[in-house]
């Protein structure tokens, strides 16, 4: 699988100017209009994705006191790969933040259709002054499908100390167990490293400064997860409480996560405050 990485490189120089360098791979990075000193980049597929033999890699590096928002105008479907010479595909993401950077990644659903076989890795590396918030919405199967195989590997490090290590093998033969997904086919998560989310029944507080908020359900549009709002500043450096990470089988059976109205709004706009504004070069 040849890899031609998509790159987003944002840096603030000593004069406070922001430099943005974008590199295209199978996913193309396009800068879009933003205000308040925010750098906003859209990821757009430059070819049919995700097919057998594809290898997508997205590398993000942000250095300096700037907020970078990454958006995806459309979701991604991993298609049936059976009967091909290389019946697998990869989707790898690496995010690095330094010197007061804030990175918000608002991903759209990643759908694994019947017959697809995908390996997916997510790596986050932040220093003690930076924050990364990443949404991942995994959907197993299109409407009426069971969905193919998905293996995910997540590694997050804060200030050179591991914050999150998670491996999931979502094989159709085993993922229906109650210790994995049960009857659900949608796994929606916000992973935040460098700040804590407020305590909720669906939120796991990490030993390092960070949180994972997660929802399981059968219909992705029913996910109640909003853009993360950080906990009050006085609690951001507090040790993680001994809270367990609870999940739900279906949003309709959870009084904590269910909505009061069936008319769900679109996926929300960011609400984490940006870093201090800096002039753009």
For the segment 13-31, what is each residue's pLDDT rounded down to a tens digit? 999 999 999 999 999 999 9
Q: Is residue 78 part of a domain?
A: yes
Between CA 184 and CA 279 the distance in angstroms is 46
CA 38 to chain centre: 19
Tokens 């790596």 appear where?
123
pLDDT of residue 258: 25
Q: Is residue 120 part of a domain?
A: yes
Indicate the average pLDDT of the chain: 84
Q: Is residue 264 part of a domain?
A: no
pLDDT of residue 179: 87
pLDDT of residue 194: 98
pLDDT of residue 4: 84
Q: Is residue 206 part of a domain?
A: yes
Q: Is residue 242 part of a domain?
A: yes
* pLDDT more than 90, % of the chain: 75
Is residue 21 within 8 A of residue 2, CB to CB? The reply is no
pLDDT of residue 248: 26
Please give the tally of structural domains in the chain: 1
Q: In 3D, which of 200, 195, 189 has the Cα closest to residue 166?
A: 189
Q: Is residue 263 part of a domain?
A: no
The predicted-structure confidence for 196-218, as pLDDT tens digits, reads as follows 999 999 999 999 999 999 999 99
pTM of the complete model beyond 0.95: no
Domain extent, residue 45, equals 6-253
Question: What residue ranges of the chain have pLDDT lower than 70?
Answer: 1-3, 230-281
DSSP letter string over the chain? -----EEEEEEE-TTS-EEEEEE-SSEEEEEE---TT-EEEEEEESSS-S-TT-EEEEEEEEESS-EEEEE-SS-EEEPP-TTSSS--EEEEEEEEEETT-EEEEEPPPEEE-TT-EEEEEEEEEE-TT-EEEEEEEEEESSTT----EEEEEEEEEETTEEEEEEEEEE-TTTTTSTTTTTT--EEEEEEEESS-PPP-TTEEEPSSSEEEEEEEES-GGG--PPSP-PPPGGGTTSPPP-------S-GGG-TTT--S-S-PPPSPPP-SPPPPP--B-
* pLDDT more than 70, % of the chain: 80
Strand partners, 189: 136, 214
Is residue 119 within 8 A of residue 154, CB to CB? The reply is no
Q: Is residue 261 part of a domain?
A: no
Between CA 225 and CA 183 the distance in angstroms is 20
Residues 6+ apart with CB under 8 A from 271: 226, 227, 228, 229
Q: Is residue 259 part of a domain?
A: no
């Amino acid at each position: 699988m040849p890899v031609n990485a998509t790159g987003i490189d944002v840096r603030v120089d000593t004069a406070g100017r922001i430099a943005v360098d974008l590199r295209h791979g199978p996913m193309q990075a396009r800068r879009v209009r933003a205000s308040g000193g925010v750098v906003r980049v859209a990821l757009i597929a430059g070819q049919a994705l995700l097919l057998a033999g594809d290898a997508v890699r997205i590398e993000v590096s942000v250095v300096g006191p700037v907020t970078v928002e990454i958006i995806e105008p459309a979701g991604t479907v991993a298609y049936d790969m059976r009967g091909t010479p290389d019946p697998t595909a990869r989707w790898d993401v690496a995010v690095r933040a330094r010197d007061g950077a804030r990175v918000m990644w608002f991903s759209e659903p990643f759908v694994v259709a019947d017959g697809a076989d995908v390996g997916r890795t997510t790596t986050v590396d932040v220093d003690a002054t930076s924050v990364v918030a990443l949404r991942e919405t995994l959907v197993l199967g299109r409407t009426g499908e069971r969905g193919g195989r998905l293996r995910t590997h997540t590694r997050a490090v804060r200030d050179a100390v591991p914050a999150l290590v998670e491996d999931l093998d979502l094989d159709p033969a085993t993922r229906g167990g109650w210790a994995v997904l049960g009857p659900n086919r949608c796994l929606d998560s916000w992973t935040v490293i460098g700040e804590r989310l407020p305590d909720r029944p669906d939120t796991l507080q990490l030993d390092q400064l960070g949180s994972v908020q997660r929802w399981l359900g059968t219909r992705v549009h029913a996910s109640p997860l909003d853009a993360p709002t950080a906990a009050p500043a006085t609690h951001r450096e507090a040790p993680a409480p001994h809270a367990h990470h609870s999940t739900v089988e279906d949003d309709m059976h959870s009084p904590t996560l269910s909505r009061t109205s069936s008319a769900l709004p679109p996926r929300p706009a960011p609400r984490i405050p940006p870093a201090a504004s800096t002039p753009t070069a």
